[in-house]
Structure 1
Amino acid sequence: MASRDNKNRVEKTIVTILLVVGGILVSIPFIWMILSAFKPESEVLAFPPTIFPENPTIENFVHLFTKLDFGIYFRNTVIIVLASFVGLLFNAMAGYGFAKYSFKGRDKLFFLVLATMMIPGQVTMIPVYLLLNEVGLTNTMVGIILPGLAVAFSIFLFRQFMTTVPDDLIEAARLDGAGEFYIFFRLIIPVAKPIFAVQGILTFIAGWNSFIWPLIIASDDSLYTLSVGLSLLQGQYASNFALQMAGAAFMVIPIIIIFSFFQKYIVEGFTMSGIK
């Protein structure tokens, strides 16, 4: 028994060491990026390279917002993220409808939603662009936001979770005189907090990193997002690595912070969503 405990201890120690080493190796590019964002341009190119800034400065970040349009890109990105959360609510309603309402063609319609998950987004970009162009929504914020409001994967996860909510709970609320909207907002949403948490994180990341669709639909620089602005930065300031590191850090840090605080909900949300 003692030898087995010692063996288990050694195995746990080895695994822990491997995880720590792996975590450090994965973190090195992010740490280098963040530290380089606070270095002058000359220090980024210095050899031998310095790990910590010898002359720390925030001039790179000031340059992004004063001489470039990162303030506008940031505003557009925030608008897209907020609109994505409105779409998240619509997806939750759709998932609840598929799970708890019986109507003609429900299963066929749900399978149709699932089928759209198998189609790459690049395939539908041209048809969606042509539709928006016909109604005059190209080069508009509405045209950027509208296609992302309904997400098949989000509807699927919400539907799978909603099937685990007892029907008796909903029927009891109806017998007490509660309306359908009251049941959804005051009963279903509090019960579905785990799946709302994980979908909220994924929605934020998708909205914050939106790149291809804004680049296609918008021809005006005032409608570009942070991701598009970062790609333009790499083209216009290809030799200014410190400025590029500042732009990349500004993009990545919010995602790292949110993921660090809510990462437990991702596993919990997928587990409780009923992928069974």
Structure 2
Amino acid sequence: MESMARPNTAVKIILVLMLLFIAVIALFPFFALLLASFKPSTELLRYGLNLKLQAHLLSFKNYIYLFQEGAKYLIWYKNSLVITIVGTILSLFFSSMVGYALAVYDFKGKNVVFILVLAVMMIPMEILMLPLYKLMVSFKMINTYWGVIVPIMVAPVAIFFFRQYALGLPKELLDAARIDGCSEFRIFFNIMVPLMKPAFGAMAILQAMGYWNSFLWPTVILRTEDMFTLPIGLSGLLTPYGNNYDILISGSLLTILPIIILFIFFQRYFISGLTVGGVKG
């Protein structure tokens, strides 16, 4: 028994060392960015991103500039947070209801609706941009938060994911709730939503990342600098007249924090939501 346990222990140690090595490689860009955020732009232009720890070059000047002289940065951060939080909540709410309805109810045209959802998933955003822009103009949503949120609020990918997940939920609970006199909305919010927590956790991360990192559509909709999101505002630091790489790297590094916090909060649901939701149906 001891001879069998030793090989297993050795295999585990080797696997742990391999995973640590892969983790170090994966985190190398992050460490390089973290170190570069404390360096002056001249050093970055001369040597690029590296892990050279030169204490005399490190300072908090880039971050001080962002929060004091670069006052627009905080406005961009606020705009990105508002759009991401509101857009993610509304996307989860409506997409889950549509996906749940397609999975649970039988109605005329159900398959047609589902095929349309799959079709929209295959159409690139660039093709839909012009008609969506005209729609936002008619709704007077140009240069507003809603102009960024509404067109991608009900995501086809999220609808498909929630449908696949809801197909695996026990239908007996629905029948029992209806016998007890529960309304369809109460069944959904009180019974089905708690069962779909892994799906909500996975989609919360993916949808929030989509809104947070979105660049092309907000660039089309948002006009004034006070309405810019972080990707648009930071991209303005690179101009033909000068490239503020030090400020750009520092500002970009801080944009990672909300996504990290979100992933830590929903990580227990993320993997289970993706695996279970991906095999149902």
TM-score, normalization: structure 1?
0.88
Question: Does 1:151 find its partner at 2:124?
Answer: no
Q: Aligned pair in 2 of structure 1 residues 49, 13: CA closer, same or farther (>3 Å)?
A: closer
The equivalent position to 2:145 in structure 1, one of 141, 145, 153, is: 141
Corresponding residue number in structure 1 for 2:86 = 83
Corresponding residue number in structure 1 for 2:24 = 24
How many residue pairs align between the two structures? 276
Question: Does 1:63 find its partner at 2:65?
Answer: yes
Question: Does 1:109 find its partner at 2:113?
Answer: yes
8 A contact 1:164–1:274 mirrored in 2: no
Q: Aligned pair in 2 of structure 1 residues 99, 253: CA closer, same or farther (>3 Å)?
A: same
Q: Aligned pair in 2 of structure 1 residues 237, 16: CA closer, same or farther (>3 Å)?
A: farther
TM superposition shift of 1:19: 2.5
8 A contact 2:92–2:204 mirrored in 1: yes
CA distance in 2, matches of 1:32, 1:107: 50
CA distance in 2, matches of 1:49, 1:81: 33
TM superposition shift of 1:57: 3.7
Cα deviation 1:149-202 (Å, max 9, x = unaligned): 110010011111111122210121121121122111111111111111111111
Question: Does 1:244 find its partner at 2:209?
Answer: no
Question: Comparing 152-161 with 60-69, which one deviates more in the overlay?
Answer: 60-69
8 A contact 1:35–1:53 mirrored in 2: no
TM superposition shift of 1:241: 3.0
CA distance in 1, matches of 2:65, 2:12: 48
CA distance in 1, matches of 2:93, 2:136: 23
8 A contact 2:77–2:230 mirrored in 1: yes
TM superposition shift of 1:114: 1.1
The equivalent position to 2:98 in structure 1, one of 85, 89, 94, is: 94
Alignment of 1:226-237 (within 5 A): 226-235=230-239
Question: Comparing 153-162 with 55-64, which one deviates more in the overlay?
Answer: 55-64
CA distance in 1, matches of 2:277, 2:125: 24
TM superposition shift of 1:218: 1.5
CA distance in 2, matches of 1:44, 1:274: 43
TM-score, normalization: structure 2?
0.87
Cα deviation 1:64-105 (Å, max 9, x = unaligned): 233331111111111111222112111011111111111110
CA distance in 2, matches of 1:243, 1:97: 47
CA distance in 1, matches of 2:274, 2:92: 16
Aligned amino acid, residue 35 of structure 1: L
Aligned-partner SS, 1:195: helix
Q: Aligned pair in 2 of structure 1 residues 7, 223: CA closer, same or farther (>3 Å)?
A: same
CA distance in 1, matches of 2:51, 2:154: 47
The equivalent position to 1:180 in structure 2, one of 167, 181, 184, is: 184
CA distance in 1, matches of 2:54, 2:14: 30
Q: Aligned pair in 2 of structure 1 residues 274, 240: CA closer, same or farther (>3 Å)?
A: closer
Tell me, which stretches of 5 or more residues in structure 1 are unaligned?
A: none
Corresponding residue number in structure 1 for 2:34 = 34
Identity of aligned residues (%): 36
Q: Aligned pair in 2 of structure 1 residues 55, 262: CA closer, same or farther (>3 Å)?
A: farther
CA distance in 1, matches of 2:263, 2:172: 35
Question: Does 1:72 find its partner at 2:75?
Answer: yes
Question: Does 1:169 find its partner at 2:170?
Answer: no
